[in-house]
Structure 1
Amino acid sequence: MLLLAVCALIVLSPLLVGRWPAGLLMHPWRWPILVWASLLLQVVIMQVAALHGIAPVLHILTYVAAGTFLWLNRAMPGALIVGVGALSNGVTIALNGGVLPARAGAVSAAGLDTGDEFANSAVVADPVLPWLGDVFAWPEPLPLANTFSVGDVVIVVGVSVAAWVGTRRIGAPAPEAKDRQQA
């Protein structure tokens, strides 16, 4: 939830300086259903206990779908950067049985307790690529306290590029409209 909230704030951030993320919002996205289905499936596997047995496989599949979306839209500035971050997380998740390994200190600082339910990120015994897991904490008592990874930071950088490249001053005519006015 923390990553989604940060990305949403970044997408809206150009508005604070009188610009709007025209490049991002007006981009002709290819197969956007893939990214929306990935996000929805991640929420479902966390909430539906009956799926916890196959949740690790479903979790990996969400990264495959999101990666496919990013590849199809790689011409969008920032998409490949987001893809590198997602690939970092996805490979680490796949190599750790469907879970992103988390550093115990980060989990404690964030005040997280997963109990016996499936967690997309958890402390793992003998993790593979532990430095790519959730090693950082957005600690309690901050809102949305959670852990995050190097891949998440790279994703945020990519979303920042996507949100800011192609911004336009609010009220400025679209480039096509300016070209027509000059002709």
Structure 2
Amino acid sequence: MKRKRINGPKTNGGDDMKNKLTLSYCLDEECGWEETSHRNMDGIRCPKCGRHVTSEFVKKNPNDGDWMIEEKIKRLGLKTIDEQAYHEHVKPLQLYGIDITKWKYYKITNYGPMFFTDEYLSITPIEELMKSDSKLVGNKTIAERIDSIMFRIQLVLWKWKHKIIGNK
């Protein structure tokens, strides 16, 4: 038996009751979950990791045309290539013949600078970018980095010492 609506507004399939387009994402940056929809998802838990979710209304940038690129830049902590970054990181690569004309953004990782283009940011999902970012940018403190370097040096010295003793 079909229920009859007694109170409440009459709608035409729900189209006139839509919320604004909203970007909802997990507050845990390592999770990387996000969804763009007309649903208000404030106050719910992330379906991927169970942590809190926050939402922002989508604002299209008339200059850029793609609001997601700006969101990815903000979430990844990318910097635009300015004159100092150009001379420090980009110019040496250009001298080796690498085409750098499309590079607009960079980030310093444990392995050196990493460069990004608008095209790459627009076609790559945020989850994939966040996963590769967490692998490249370690959360180690300086003391932990020094400890790991010292351990590697001691290991190499130990191997070298035992190699010399073993050859005699």
Please identify the structure whose Cα radius of gyration is greater.
2
The structure richer in helix per residue is 1
Normalized against structure 2, the TM-score is what? 0.22
Q: Highest relative contact order (Cα 8 Å, sep 6+), 1 or 2?
A: 1
The structure richer in strand per residue is 2
**TM-score, normalised via structure 1 length:** 0.21
